[in-house]
Amino acid sequence: MESKLNHQAIDAYSKALAKQLSQSFFSNSSHISGKEILELSPNKQINLMVLKNLFKKWKKENAKLQSPYFDYHSDEVKKAMKDFMNTLSRHIYVKKEHFEPLLKESIKDSVLLAFSPYDFYSKEINQRDDSRLRLSDLKDLKKYIKFNDFLLDGLIEHFESHKEDVVFNDTAFEMFNEVCSNSEEQPADIQPLLAEFSKTLPLSLADIYLEEEKEEKGMLNEKLQTKEKQTLADKLAKSGGKSMMKMLTLNQRFMFVNELFEGNQNQFLSAVEQIDGMESYKEASSHIKKSFADKYNWDMETEEVQEFIELVEKRFGK
């Protein structure tokens, strides 16, 4: 189960922020240039994302200009086209009616990158017109990413280590999921990112993630009851010798931080480290109830808690 994004609220926030930024800028100008885009918002990631999406749309439009009557693969033509595009890139000139929808899209992408990077990169992989992902695309994307770029770096490294220049989307997804599963690096801390977005328009976790309806709290789930003891060697053997941290997928990390630890990544990492250092499932389950379930008011019947407990069980070979 993955943490559910509140796409409707994210869309509304993106629309409102785009309108606010556009009205502020275009009250004194009829158009915006590339240099002005880079200074538009105090959130630099949004500004870079605007340029990324602008150039992506421009490349699509440029592809439509290619005629079947000319050789666009000629070295001379390719050089001329490159020179032409380089010249145009220094003369960005966008009016408000065209810029505001672009800005809204870019804000939405920036929110995804910040709070659900798996969804952001999956979207980037899936939006290829020819159903292929190229190493050059990934390196180009790298120029526009300010945070949570470790997944992108991992995917680039995967391409290079396997000597791949281009792969089909389904293969790219397999590679990306492998990168996510093997990554031990942590996503950017949520609170500073929320503060960065809120400089212009307030943003909270409630605007990003859907809140589950809570059932009436009961006793601790029976999964946390005492189970038979095993030796540490047996537990590690059954869990493949992995720590709980290494078992976590990227999306699970996001889900647990946001749904179970109130967005506090340091508390989550400390909790996992404590659980990994314990001798038995009984000790871990008792510690979870006393230190986390009660403190964060967990509903033990929710999918998030159940999934967390299942990981603890796997850690101790249950």
- Rounded CA-CA distance 233/17 in Å is 54
> 118 and 251 in contact (C-beta within 8 Å)?
yes
pLDDT tens sequence across 69-94: 989 889 998 899 889 888 988 899 99
- Give the pLDDT confidence of 266-297 residue by residue, as tens digits: 788 889 889 988 888 899 999 999 999 999 99
Say what the pLDDT of residue 207 is: 84
Q: Are 278 and 230 in contact (CB under 8 A)?
A: no
pLDDT digits (tens, 9 = 90+) for 231-275: 334 443 444 445 787 787 777 887 888 889 887 777 888 898 899
Structure tokens at 36: 């002005």
- Which amino acid, one-letter code, is at 217? K
Question: Cβ contacts of residue 224 below 8 Å, gap of 6+?
Answer: 285, 288, 289, 293, 300, 309
pLDDT of the residue at 213? 38
Which among 90, 87, 86 has a CA at the least distance from the CA of 34?
90
Q: pTM here?
A: 0.70
